[in-house]
A = this chain, B = another copy of it.
């Protein structure tokens, strides 16, 4: 019942409206309101009470699909004042970090909060994101974007990053989307549990080179640098081909695992 009830669109829900041309719009359903573009209008009341997935017809006679948004779609709709991480990169990093329910994560560089939302989703329920930024305005923007996406204060804690201060300790993962991640290596290592995972996204090869060198020399194993390319295929009967344009570059991803030398006094051999 509960599941069924969740599948009706209700006032206050954020719904993804999809036009025939694949354009998508994230709309909060409000009784009496109308969603309009130059391609036609849809009264919110026509959606409220209908099941998710419903195809309706707008005022111009064109079909519109009303979908339940997933985190990938929400993160692409944030109010941006920074570059945001692309879903292809976020998806890959979440896998390489091995994140799951209950995990605790330090995020360095809240930015617009897009990655924060992805991290929060990945550690639900019971997990927690400690998201740091040096700029108060980014912390506020990220918090606002997260709140709008239903990511609450019980899930994410935004903190001003102050040089030299310790990060939240005993976390399962640390992510970096900051210009100089090498400055945070020591703090990241200290914050991570043993075998905790580290990830940095950097736009240039030079930054990736420096991050990798710092990781390799600073208590991390399995240092790997990769780039993820996604190519859209236009699959159409009898004339399938890749899309003419593609994103040639977003970020270079560097991941690693925290390790530490065995302490002599912790050694079990003498026992």
- Whether the pair B95, A124 counts as a contact (CB closer than 8 A) is no
Residues 128-146 of A, flagged 1 when their CB comes within 8 A of B and 0 if not, give 0000000000000000000
Query: Which listed residue, B45, B53, B197, B239, touches A259 by the CB 8 Å rule?
Result: B53
What is the minimal beta-carbon distance from A53 to any residue of chain B, in angstroms?
A: 3
Interface bits A142-185 vs B (CB < 8 Å: 1, else 0) = 00000000000000000000000000001000000000000000
Across-interface contacts of A229 in B (CB, < 8 A)? 228-231
Chain A interface SS verdict (over half): mixed
User: Interface size (A, Cβ < 8 Å)?
Assistant: 95
* Residue among A96, A194, A235, A250 facing the most chain B CB atoms (10 A cut-off): A235
| A194 pairs with B92, CB closer than 8 A | no
Residue A187 at the chain B interface, CB threshold 8 Å: no
Give the copy number.
4
Tell me if A36 is interfacial: C-beta within 8 Å of chain B: no
A269: nearest residue on chain B (CB-CB)? B46
Contact (A53, B250) CB under 8 Å given A68-B195, A193-B7, A222-B22: no
The chain B residue with its CB closest to the CB of A97 is B70
Q: Which residues of A contact B (CB under 8 A)?
A: 3-4, 7, 18, 22, 45-46, 48-56, 65-68, 70-73, 87-88, 90-92, 94-98, 100-101, 121, 124-125, 170, 193-197, 203-209, 211-213, 221-222, 224-250, 252, 254, 257-262, 266, 268-269
